[in-house]
Amino acid sequence: MAKILDQAEFTELVLNGSGVALVDFFATWCGPCKALAPVLEDISAEIGDKANIYKVDIDENQNLAQEYRVMSVPTMKIFKNGQVVETIVGLQSKTTLMEKLNYYSN
């Protein structure tokens, strides 16, 4: 299951973490974000320890949304060893996201 992070957890798990993490910047009022949620749950269950899936509520963490220049939701950022390696905007398919995560985790 994708864990919803606050600022402290984001710093600890994403920025100071190792390996690959996909962070979904979302809003509770966003329709495409709601459609993306089960896709991310499937990916989280399937990908195992190759990558971590996290979520950040932009309304609860406006400073993170500003820092990472989130202009629309959903916006996903893939981090590798604490650094952003790719930004993905909009609703994406499970296949597309799995391909990207597999690419960065190898």
Residues 75 and 25: beta-carbon distance below 8 Å: yes
- Based on the residue annotation, tell me whether 33 is a catalytic residue of this protein: yes
- Total structural domains within the chain: 1
Residues 22 and 53: beta-carbon distance below 8 Å: yes
For residue 92, the domain's CATH number is 3.40.30.10
pLDDT at residue 1 greater than cutoff 80: no
Residues 85 and 79: beta-carbon distance below 8 Å: yes
Neighbours of 76 (CB within 10 A): 24
Q: What is the mean pLDDT of residues 1-17?
A: 94
pTM of the complete model: 0.96
pLDDT at residue 2 greater than cutoff 90: no
Specify the pLDDT at position 77: 98
- Based on the residue annotation, tell me whether 30 is a catalytic residue of this protein: yes
Q: Per the residue annotation, which of 4, 13, 30, 88 is the catalytic one?
A: 30
Q: Per the residue annotation, which of 33, 36, 70, 98 is the catalytic one?
A: 33
**Per-residue confidence at 31, pLDDT binned at 50, 70, 90?**
very high
For residue 82, the enclosing domain spans 3-105
